Amino acid sequence: MDFIRTFQDLLYGLAVAASPQNLLVAVIGLLLGTAIGVLPGLGGTNGVALLLPLTFHLSPTAAIILLSCVYWGAIFGGAITSILFRIPGEPWSVATMFDGYPLARRGKPGVALTAAFVASFIGALISIVLFTFFAPPLAEMALKFGPPENFAVLLLAFASIAGLEGGDPVKALTMTFLGLLLATVGFDIVSGTPRMTFGLVALQSGVSFVVIAIGLFGIGEILLTVEEKLRLDGLKARLSFREVWETCRMFRNYIGTLIRSALLGFWIGILPGTGATPASFMGYGMARQFSPRGSRFGTGEVEGIVAPNTAAHAAGIGSLLPMITLGIPGSPTAAVMLAGLFIWGLNPGPLLFQENREFVWGLVGSMYLANVLGVLMVLTMVPLFAAIVRIPFAILAPLIVILCSVGAYAVNNQVLDLWIMLGSGLAGYLFKKLGYPLAPLVVALVLGDMTEQAFRQSLIMGQGSPAIFFTRPIAAFFVVTALAIFLFPFARSALRRARGGAVAAEAPGTAGS
């Protein structure tokens, strides 16, 4: 590996990206992307797809810079509504809500926003450096990760989220099952038969995760707030740039989490078909296990905002790597960009590095520049965004409802989704009141399809025997870790009961399923 050569290429790429035209394109892309990120229901994948026709008039380099900047912008922007209103602007910002929203409620929306943005930026930066220097060997390694390994990693994600909100582990398990079941609704990918639709044609395309999340969190939160007492005043939040600076300084304490999340995110990003959403959940789950502050996660801990955002943005960058080097998209958004590559007349693959030096290194260079630009842009706007929570509740509540509805409709353009949203809103309210955690449900719903696919492929590989998860060392390691994490809360509550002694014996035997 000749680093000097790579370094020269990188300098060349930076020069390409810094040309006035490409810089302008980057800024436009970032602004559009942030707007797309803020609007729920209008995702990064949609945004990139919508802008694809526009790129036909640009050079391939400017085109990929535009599209990738929309993606970065959307990753930055998605955090905003999650933190302020508990409406996920993007699927990957659901994990940001877990700690971002409680922190904003405590009157620190500025801290939460800054933490999210800076974490995204650092995740991106670590990821780009890896991208620059280790692209080809990493891409090959990722291809060795088979379905059993993927399933094992997903299992780990479920296990770490299940215990998230403390509470009753059996309820968390129930919600995980419910989420996975909801994910099976619609056409089966393998056989093409509609499943779990109860004969309804409208359900054949499946239930959208975004619609359910908007209902559960956005609408559900409004109902909870209203129930308590109508608060007619906005939150009193301290808004200043000093807060932004102070939050940046806090990052010294999170170096471990930053590096772990970035590496994990980058790796998840490279794996085909995954992307920023699973990475964000896994980053959150992992930080919760390893951080000394892990037990405070879910209550508005800054590190709980840092972990998922670092991983999400690192995965966003990572997902472009196999697209460029192998022609295999690492995420749905990268798949849309891959379509662009073909339209612009480029052939992705190892040869691209030699034949289209300007394109590849221009893209790499623009990743550095665009992420620096992007974080500066969103950071200067933090006080402005944070000021939104000062709007009186009687105006904010209907506003949120309208944003939710528009977002839910935009996902699939069907009215049924609005009813699903309202239903999920009521369900979310009841779940929350009765102590059923929402996070496992949402995570399972997001990762369900991927999990089932990995599981079925693994079983086919193992000719029907689940032993395949234990005979492959990497898979076995993750499965065993996942089971240990999962059983821990049961063991703890059993121990507590044994010490307390008073409560009658009951069946904790559901863990093996």
Partner 1 sequence: MRKAGLTFAVAMVLAGVVLLREATRLPTGWTASGPGPGFFPFWLAAGFTVSAFAVLLREWTANQGKGERFLPEGAGKRIAVVFLPMAAVVGLLHYLGVYMGGLLYLLGYSRLVGRHSWPTVLAVSVGVPLTLFFVFERWFLMPMPKGIVLEWLLYGR
> What amino acid occupies position 114?
T
What size, in residues, is the chain?
513
- Per DSSP, 201 falls in state G
* Beta bridge mates, 186: 195
DSSP-derived secondary structure for 146-167: -HHHHHHHHHHHHHHHHTTT-S
Of 16, 37, 49, 120, the closest CA to residue 371 belongs to 120
Tokens representing 37?
A: 């990120």
Which one, 174 or 289, has the nearer CB to partner 1? 174
Which one, 119 or 183, has the nearer CB to partner 1? 183
Which one, 193 or 354, has the nearer CB to partner 1? 193
Give the integer Cα–Cα distance in Å for 505 and 477: 33
**Which burial class, exposed, middle or buried, applies to 410 when counting CB atoms under 10 A from its CB (0-12, 13-18, 19+)?**
middle
Q: Which residue in the set 184, 205, 289, 481 belongs to the binding site for partner 1 (CB under 8 A)? A: 184
Which one, 368 or 455, has the nearer CB to partner 1? 455
Tokens representing 174?
A: 């129930």
Give the integer Cα–Cα distance in Å for 133 and 377: 27
Per-residue burial over 326-358, b = 16 or more CB atoms within 10 Å of its CB, e = otherwise: bebbbbbbbbbbbebbeebebebeeebbeebee
Q: Which residue in the set 259, 377, 406, 483 belongs to the binding site for partner 1 (CB under 8 A)? A: 406
Which of these ranges, 83-91, 105-113, 281-289, 452-460, lies near partner 1 under the rule CB under 8 A?
452-460
Q: Which residue in the set 20, 191, 499, 501 belongs to the binding site for partner 1 (CB under 8 A)? A: 191
Residues between 123 and 152 with contacts to partner 1, criterion CB under 8 A: none
Which one, 140 or 188, has the nearer CB to partner 1? 188
Residues between 13 and 42 with contacts to partner 1, criterion CB under 8 A: 35-36, 39, 42
Give the integer Cα–Cα distance in Å for 189 and 138: 29
Of 252, 256, 254, 278, the closest CA to residue 265 belongs to 278
Which one, 136 or 435, has the nearer CB to partner 1? 435
Of 289, 217, 120, the closest CA to residue 443 belongs to 217
Contacts for 104 with CB less than 8 Å, ≥ 6 apart = 83, 84, 112, 235, 237, 389
Q: Which residue in the set 1, 5, 144, 193 belongs to the binding site for partner 1 (CB under 8 A)? A: 193
**Shortest distance in whole angstroms from residue 58 CB to partner 1:** 19
Which one, 303 or 417, has the nearer CB to partner 1? 417
Q: Quick check: 181 binds partner 1 (CB under 8 A)?
A: yes
Q: Quick check: 409 binds partner 1 (CB under 8 A)?
A: yes
Q: Quick check: 496 binds partner 1 (CB under 8 A)?
A: no
Which one, 133 or 409, has the nearer CB to partner 1? 409
- How many residues bind partner 1 (CB under 8 A)? The answer is 69
Which of these ranges, 339-347, 361-369, 377-385, 405-413, lies near partner 1 under the rule CB under 8 A?
405-413
Give the integer Cα–Cα distance in Å for 427 and 175: 12
**Shortest distance in whole angstroms from residue 313 CB to partner 1:** 23
Contacts for 361 with CB less than 8 Å, ≥ 6 apart = 9, 10, 12, 13, 16
DSSP-derived secondary structure for 215-275: IIIIIHHHHHHHHH----S-------HHHHHHHHHHGGGGHHHHHHHHHHHHHHHHSTT--
Residues 279-318 vs partner 1: string with x where CB under 8 A? ----------------------------------------
Residues between 231 and 270 with contacts to partner 1, criterion CB under 8 A: 232
Q: Which residue in the set 31, 202, 223, 248 belongs to the binding site for partner 1 (CB under 8 A)? A: 223
Which one, 127 or 458, has the nearer CB to partner 1? 458
Give the integer Cα–Cα distance in Å for 98 and 112: 11
Which one, 369 or 427, has the nearer CB to partner 1? 427
Contact of 297 with 287, CB cutoff 8 Å:
yes
Residues 197-216 vs partner 1: string with x where CB under 8 A? -x------------------
Q: Quick check: 419 binds partner 1 (CB under 8 A)?
A: yes
Tokens 């992992």 — which residue? 286
Q: Quick check: 434 binds partner 1 (CB under 8 A)?
A: yes
Q: Quick check: 464 binds partner 1 (CB under 8 A)?
A: yes
Q: Quick check: 228 binds partner 1 (CB under 8 A)?
A: yes
Q: Quick check: 495 binds partner 1 (CB under 8 A)?
A: no
Q: Quick check: 195 binds partner 1 (CB under 8 A)?
A: yes
Contact of 311 with 262, CB cutoff 8 Å:
yes
Q: Quick check: 460 binds partner 1 (CB under 8 A)?
A: yes
Helix (H, G, I), strand (E, B) or coil at 195: strand
Which one, 135 or 408, has the nearer CB to partner 1? 408
Which of these ranges, 12-20, 116-124, 341-349, 412-420, lies near partner 1 under the rule CB under 8 A?
412-420
Helix (H) or strand (E) run with residue 113 in it = helix 109-143
Q: Quick check: 487 binds partner 1 (CB under 8 A)?
A: no
Footprint on this chain of partner 1 (rule: CB under 8 A): 35-36, 39, 42, 50, 168, 170-171, 173-174, 177-178, 180-181, 184, 188, 190-191, 193, 195-196, 198, 219, 222-223, 226-228, 230, 232, 392-395, 397-399, 401-402, 405-406, 409-410, 413, 415, 418-419, 422, 425-426, 429-430, 433-435, 452, 455-457, 459-460, 464, 503-504, 506-508, 510, 513
